[in-house]
Structure formats: C-alpha cells, structure tokens
Chains A and B, each alone.
Chain A
Amino acid sequence: MYAFNYHKPKSLADAQALVAKFPDGKILAGGHTLIPTLKQRLAQPTDLIDIGGLAELKGITVSGSTVSIGAGTKHGEVADSADVKKAIPALAALAALIGDRQVRNKGTMGGSLANNDPAADYPGAILGLGATVHTTKRAIKADDFLKGMFETALDEGEIITKVEFPVPKRAAYEKFRNPASRYVMVGAFVAETASGIRVAITGAGPTAYRWADAEKALGAKFAVASVEKLVHTSNGLNADIHASAEYRAHLITVMTKRAVAGAGG
C-alpha cells in the first residue's frame, strides 16, 4: 500500500467536511474492496475517511411496506436480520450469499453499492426490488443509480446514507457463483412488486440491468414456462477467463427460471 492519512470522523457531518477537505481522499466503509485495491497499489488516495463506525449509518427498520437499511449495515447483519427475513426473505438470502462469513462481517451495503462492481449482488437487489438509494444530498431511484461498470450516479463526495426497499408481493434471487471467488457470474433477481414484475440481471453485463423481455413474459403469466424459451443475446455481456459472453447469456435464462420457481411461479 502507498502511504495515506487516516481519519475517523465522529459524525456524518464531520465525514462530509473531511471529504470536502481532501479531494484526493477516499471513503472507507467496510474496506473489503478498497483495502485489497490499495494493497495492489491500484489506487493512491491521500487520505482515508473511515465511516465504518458511524452510528447514523447503521440499522434496519421496517415500517409498513418499506424496509430501510442503513448504508453502514454489514452483509451479515442483513442476512441474519429477523425483520429482513420476514419482510423480504429474498434480500436476506442474497446477503447470505455474498463472499464468506468473515467478509460478511465487515462489508457494507453502502460500500457495495457505491463501488458497483459488475460482479456484486446488491446492485441486482436494488434494481430488482425498485429500491431508493438515499444520500447526503438526495434520493436516487435504483433505475437511475447504476450507470456502468464501477460507475454510479453519486457525485464526488456524496455519501450513501440508507437504502429503502419496498416490500414485494414475492421475490427470489438466484446466483451462479464463481466457485473460487464466490462473486456472481450471473445472478437473477425476480420480483412481483406493486408496480409490476421486475427482473434484474447482475454479473452478466458491465452493470446490473433489467431484462425487459422476461418482465413482459412474466407480466403475462408469472410462471417458469413463460421464461424458459426466452433467449438472451450475448451482445454486450462480459467475457473473461471464467465465462464467455455466450455462456453468461445461457445462464441468464437458467438463473431467471430458477428465480421464478423460487418465488413460487
């Protein structure tokens, strides 16, 4: 790692002041992407602003038809939360599939979303559920939040504070994991929400996106048979040593079918 200065603000306001003061600094949440990046000298921030301990960013609350999760909430806390399991079991199940137990004990929802790794799980969840990402500046709909590979709508210095998930009628997430890294090769998040069917695909393209053909087919009839004949194009999909674009395209239909079955379709 290159050298940096470390700051541990005591409040979100202090954190914002530090972020403004150090334009070449970086925000540290759980650090489970940032620290490996620093260790490989792929980034050289002058300052790290550690928001991992801020109580303002923690906590899970359920009110009516909304589950609100603080950005600093760890994956393990989401996975184990009785409230999340009851309101949106698919979300708790998704969190339980991130990394391993030790990673889940440090990595945070806000950190994952701000990083928007194409092989991350949470981008699929916010898109599949039609969540709203709240920041120190504004509220951003999931459909407007994910902009591209490692790219979001966040401005410089803008910090995610919480994510609000509308409770769906039913939902399920199916993930084909890279067996070594446990990152997503293809994940499908299928939900029947108050505003219709949402199908989010993560891991397959540069960023998570909605699969319109599957949404339309499931809107007509929410059943495995509606999607099993769908063929997803391989154009624009990720290709790497783990899987070709064609293989990922094939997996998209398979994972979507399993998610529909998982949601009782």
Chain B
Amino acid sequence: MTPEKLETLIFNNDREDLFVSAVSQLSEKERKTLSTHTNKLRNQITSGKAKADASKLVKRSIEKHSANYWGTQAYSNVQLAVLAFCPLSTVKRAIDFFSWRDNSAAFQIILDRKPAWLDDWLAFNLDQEFANVPFELVRGWMKEGICNKPTVEGYTRQFAWNLMAINHRKDQAPNKPISERLINEPDMIDDIWRLFEVENQAFNTESWLTNNAPANYETWPEALTKLADKGIIDRAKLLDASLQGLSNDLKQNQLSGFHKFHEQLAPTKTERSQRRAEYMALLFHKTGHVLKFSLKMLSQLERDKSLELTKFLIDVAAVFAHEAKGNAITALKLIARILKKEKDRVPCALPTMAEALRHPNADVQALAIELLTTYNEQMSDDFKSELLITADFVADANKPLLMSLLGKTNNTLGTISELNKVDSSVLSRQLSELSVLQRETLGLGNIDLEDDLKGDIQPLKPEIIKDKHFHMPDLLEPITEFDELIQALSHAVEIIDEPEDVERILDGISRLCGEYPREFDKKTSPLLKRINDGGSFETMKGLLGFGGGLLLSITDLVLTWLTGEFYQSKDTSYFSRTPSLDPMIVKVNNIKRRVYAKKPQQLLSFPTHKGGWIDPVTWVNRLNIAFANDAEFDRMDFNHSMLRLMPYGRKTALQLVRNLPENIETVVKFVLGESLTPEYKDRRDYDLWISACRSLDPNQDWSSYLSPLKLNDNYPNSIKPAYYEWNALTKVERGYKFPGLKVTAFAQSLIEPDADIQKNKTGFLSSLGRKLTGEVTVDRKLIPSAGFNATEKLKYIWSCDLGCLWINQWLSTLWPTNPDAFYVLAVTQQISRIDMDSSSFEPNFGFLSGLFEPNRVWSELAHLTLFLGLVGKDSDSRALAVDAFIEAVDNDLASQEIMAGILVKLTQAGWLKFNRLAEGLKQVTQVSATHRYFVSRMLQIWLPQIDLKLRNIHLVLEVLLDVQTALNQKVSTHVSESLKDLKGKTKAAITASRIVKAGSEASEIVRQIKLNLIASRLALVEVTEAQVRC
C-alpha cells in the first residue's frame, strides 16, 4: 500500500469495513513501512495543522476539521490505521481514548495482524485509569487464541463492570443476566475470586447502579448467590472469599458490599461456627461498618453458643479504640449479655470495661460505669486504683457516677484552681464607691454582693470602650523605601498575608510615587511581566483582580505607577462591584491621579496600628506636615482618617494642631475633643463635619448638633445613625442556583431615618424650596460612614471583591468603632452558604476577623455574624467562630442575652442545625470555668423560649448537662420547669431529667466565677483612670 492510498483510505473513506479489507492481507513488513506516515497523519489531525509538505487532500481535510477533529471519520480511520501499522509504543500513546467508531473493525484489524505485542498492550491499556479497549474485544481475541487472559487488575475491573451492564440502552437488546453469562462462558467463573481482591464495582451497593434496570437485571451478589444455590459455584469458598476480601485495602463501599454479600448468603450455624476466628479478627478492623458486621456475627455466635467467650471478652477491647459510639455501645451490651450468663468470666472482662472508660463518648463511658457497678464486688482494690487513673478521661457528667463506684467522696469535680481567689469584702467596698451610672456601664447594676451575689452580671456597655479602656494594638510600620515597596508588592501580587499589607502598599505607592530611582524599569520589569501575564488573579488571594470593583481599581493604580500611563478599566460583564466599597474605590482613584501626576504624599488614613486604628498624635503630625508642604487635600482620605482615630489620646493630639487652614483646623479640633459648633458658613465642608461627628460617636443622632448646616440628609450613618432589622426564615429558591429548593433565608433591612420625609422632598418644588432656604443636599459619595451602608440592585451576579479573602478581613478595619455595615454584608454572604462547605471562591471566614478586635463591645450584628459562622457548614468559619466566641468571653465583650435572642430567632426559622451548634458550644465550654458559666447562662436564657421537642435538641441539652455538672450548679427554676415538660424515653427527655437533678443550689465555683468577673470589671475602672491620668 502506498502512502497516497493510505491517505485516501483515511480522508476519503467513510466505511471502516473498506479500511479493514484493504489492510487485511498486508505483511508485518509492509505494515512497518506505513507506520511513520500513519503517525504523522495522526499528529496533523490532532494538532489541527497540516504540514507544509502535506498533500492537498490532507490539507483540505484537516482545514475542514481543524477546530474539532474529535468524532470525525478521518480520526476514526487514522486510529484504526495506528492499530494496523504502528508499533506498540505508538499504540500505547495514540490509543488513549475510545476513538474508533466501529468496534468490529478494530477487532478484525488486530485479528488479521495478530501483533506480538497484544498481551503487553492489553495489560497496559486495561490498567489505565480510563481503560478503553472494550471488554468484548478482549474476550473475542482471547477466544480466537491470539492473546492470553490478562492478569492485570484492570481486566477484573472490566470483567465486573461489563457483566453488570450498567450502561444498557433502551434501544439495545436486553442484557443477559450475569448468572446466564457465567454459565455460558464457564472460564469466567475462575475470574470471580479476583472480584474479592481487586478494587471494582461488582459489590458496589449504591442505588444508582440499579436504578431503571430492566426486570431481569441481576446484580453480582444476586448472580453469585443464585449460582451457589445451584451448586455451580462453591458456596463455602464464596463465604470465605467475602470475609477474606474485608482484609484487603479497598474502598469502604466495596468492603460494605463484601459483608452485605456475606450476610446475603445467610451462613448456617455450622458455617458461622467454622468462621468464628475470621469474625473475631474483624474486631481489629479500622472501618466502622466492618466492625459493626463483626459484632453482629459474634453476637449471633454467642446465641449459637459457639463464641470463644474469653477470647472475645479480651479482644473486644479493640472496639473502644474507635471513636464511633454505636459499635462501642453494642460491644458493651454484648459483654453485659455474656456476663449475665457467665459470671466467672467477669475478671477477664473487667479490664475491657475499664478500657471503655477511655472512649471519648460520654454515653459509652456511662454504660461502662453502669456495667462496672454491676460487678463492683468482683473488683479488687488494685483494679479500683487503676480505674481511678481513668477518671481523668471521663466526661464531667459521668464523674460523680465513677467516683461513687470507686467509693471516693472527694470527687475531682469543680476544680477552681484556674480562678483567682477574690476577697468579696474588697469588691464590696469598691462597688459601693461607684456611681449608679458607673455600675450600669460596667454591667454591675443588678449585683448584690451583700445578698450572696444575687443578680446577674450584665454585659458591658459600649461606652466603656469610648475614650476610656483601650487595648493598644501592634504598630504598623509604613514602607519608606523603593526596594521594600517592590518586594512587598511582588509578594502581594501572589498572596496577601494580612490586610494591613494592602494599607502599607497603598500608602507606600502614594508616598514614593515621586521617586524614580536608577534602574526603575529593570527593577520593576519582573513584577510588571507577572501582572501582565495575569498574576495570580485566578486564586483571589492576591492584591490584584479582574472583573471589577476595588481589586480592579487597585490593579489600575499599580499599573499606573509601574508604567507611568493612566489606567482606567471598566467593570466587566458578570462581575459587579460591591457598592459599600465605593468610598474605598474613590480613595484608590484619588491616589492614582496623584501617582500619574507624580505628586507623592503620605495617606492620612494609613493606620498607625493594626485593626485600622490611627493614633491621633501621629495623625495631627501628618496633617501639620501635609499642609506645611502644600500637599493636595484629599477629602475622602481625610474623612476616612477621622473614622479610624483611636478614642484614646485625642486630648494630647489636640495640643499639637498647628497652622492648618481655618475650616480644617476647626474640624480637626472638634474631632479631637474641643467643644465647637458648626456654623452655616461651614456647610461647604458638611462631609468633614459629618465624618468628625461619626468619629466621635458612631451611634449618636447628630441632627440637632449639625442643624446650623441646614443639610438635607437621610442616609443612615450620615447625620443619623443606622439601625438594622433582621429575621431568619425559610423560602423557596427562585434564583439562579437551585430553583425550587427550600433554602435558608434571611431578611435584613437597613432602616433609613425619616424615609417619608425624604420621599416628599424629591419633587421640583421641594428642590426649589431647598435652594431658596439655602439647604444643602448631602452627597453620600463624600461621606465614607454613609457610603459603607450603600446598597444597590446590581445587574451582575458575582462580586469579585467579596470573593477575595483579604477584603473580607479588611472590612472591619475600615471603620474600627462601627463595622456593622460590613457585618450586614457578612451575614448576607454567610446565609447564602449556610449549608455549604467552605469555598475558596467565597472565603466567608474572613468576615469573622472583625470579631477579634478587643476594643469593640459586640453589636447585635456582630453576635449574629458569630452564630452564622458557628452553625454553618463552612468548616473554616465554624472553627474561627469558636475562637471568636472564646475570645469574646475572655475579653468580656459578648452578651448572653443578645446571643439567646438571636438563637430564639434562628430556631424559629426552622433551619438551625443543633448538632453544629452543640459541637461549637462544647468546644467553648472546654476552655475554662468562666466559659462554661457563660454558655450555661446563655443556654438557660434561650432554652425556655423555644420548643424543646425539636429534632436533635438533645445534643444541646447534653452540653448543658456537662456544664451544669462541671459547675456543680442547678439550673434555674424557669429552665427546670421547661425541661420537666419533656417526657418519655427520648434522648432529650432522659438528658433533661439528668439536668434537673444535676448540681447544687449554691455552687462555690459559680460564686468564684462571678467574683472574678466583678473584679475584672472593676479593674477596668482603675485602668480607665490610669489612662486618663496618662
């Protein structure tokens, strides 16, 4: 055959049978001569590019299908040609897909050629992840005697899968049942034993495999059972193979298929007895469901009276090394059953029962203690001493039972070593020296030290933070050198370690943009190339981004600095900006303008400390320098900087104000604490005044104070503070994600102050009236505090900014004293993924960073953000929420009342997952007695307000039981009454009953905790006074 003829056969032939007949008589030598040309043709087809010296036919054909060769007749033909002419190495490489149209053609070509490499190729191909030689062809070639039966695992996988015939089509003839095929081709019966050794689908029990199967469909277990019943397959061998298979390192679902098959074979009493050693060995299996099977079979053996009891009582201890509760409980029940009949075996069972005390589950421990109590009299003193060592491993709720079993009166419960000893008389004196207002601010208004600490400690009032107690955060060093900026920027393009890095870079570019050192281009060229290549945009972990919003603005800024050209990109389709970040986009764009004009200046809003805070003294120095150097006055930068001022140190800073323009100086002095009032002439600087007011008190209504400015303003967090309302509910999804699905929903709204008035003032006459009266309409874009609350119905779905971790972490630092606007964003994002795993594209855990700010008493939205993190499926958010909860208790920033209120609302929505909540609370309670007390009080406020018959509520009740036992405290009468309503044998009812009985009326631990809390609150007053003096 000539190469031209070959090309015609490949490109001008739509019948594979013609190809087969054309090549059938060729000798191996002739085939070899066509091998290279075949390979070249194949490469041209797959690359979509014909070679320059290719024939017209080849060029024309390849051009026609250059974009998509897949599925073309030419491709099918060339693959057949590879089989017909090429050596093994090419066949291995080329035949990587199911790429010919007609299996019979491929079959015949190999049959005619009888290649010496067929065994090798099949062994190679069948062991590929996606083996593509049809099993029928392999069987056909085997029957024709041109290859041996492959011994590779892939053959067994294909064997299992092919006979299962899952991919049957309705238009095909019905498949033969497996048993029928095995009877017809008995050599395949030898292959079935490998099904228990190799990973395959034969014993897969997933339902999709049998869904829509025809009536005569047979699964592998059904077929094997049928053949065993008929005596065609050795039943004993099947029983053994299914047990032996469990010892192989195979996927869990295959293992479950093995023991289900074993049970399906229904071994007789004799058969079970013959395999008792194998069942016993499975006690050491690391897979839970195999252990369960083992216990089931051993239990059956015990009933059959053929269990080796002593060996079992020793070996069963291995079950307690697994944390699964069910198997451990089953094991203990089986031990109990055996010991009831065989009392002499108690001594060998005692160490096993003791081992169960080390199990992490409290129910397992409780059952073990119960069992040990039954055989108390047979326990030696030595054994009891050893048992005492295990007391440390036992859950708090079980300790009294264990101690009682061991006859110990001085139980180890309620250790208060972690708490300081506090002298209540000293506290009493200190409390009496406080004014009523001070006591209220400290949350100690209800406390009566004289009357045995009656009354609850209330949360701290937010005012305690204002201008008083301030935890000084770590300093933030600015970037002052060019090389350092390049290095920081190069790293930031790849990944932002912490959001403060962005602040340093923005400030660094702003202050160094006038410097063009020697070799600027050489030093920046690798960075510029990286950005132009796309950087690490796709990971959303770096400084730059695509699509739109803030990330795009920062990208433009960086490129403007690096190239000297002005970059101004537009938001692209599908991506939208986040409106509440608009003030920051304005700020970045202002920097960019200055960078383009090569006007360097330090940013006023660059934080001096972590958390977004600015030290007022440094701030005033910056202002003095800026105005002395005639720097451009950037209003957004200035307004933003005021929102970041620390409450601490303003008085000192006030003394340093020098020679600022009059209008600026007045605002600066006002924000630093000087008593000044705006006048009508200041209306042009209304944005400065509003920002200064919000800096002084974020939650105050400043309308009457700012009334001289005659402002028409209804934006939340402008003149008036923002209020938020929210509710949790369930709704039917109509959106783009999962239409029709019932999803968790959340309704929150921002209440605009005096919305009606605003509406009435939009008409022409109103505008005219405002002009006549000199009223000024406020532009929200100028006021960052109001801008942060901006909401807008946006056209596009994806927000690139909120998919970026550092931005989510950064939000709470933009206005350190009031990040509520960003908690609203957080809550909206969290609720949309409440039942979804954590996602790299929506890293919601970043929103929780704001909860770790020690200088902020938590608002309701902060509490809500915490709980949505705690009860969501997102594992990163959950773990971080636990941390935030723990720190909030440590720093005394959270409120049990608010938490309980939030939980009531979330419970009513019907989607709260109690298992997740309980897991989180459990971790919090493990930290210290104070944390246990906090959670106890929160639960006791919450639980009486909800329906205690809800599913899984027992998990939360178990937390309460543990806590009450550890605190040795009785629950309140109110809670006790609610719990008594739970009746019956449910888990919730049993736990509720234990809670009611747990603890004592007067707990010394709780008393100590309260005294410690009061002492720490009173210490705030001392710190405050010291700071004021300083």
Whether both chains belong to one complex is answered with: no
- Which residues does A use to contact B, with CB under 8 Å? none
- Which residues does B use to contact A, with CB under 8 Å? none
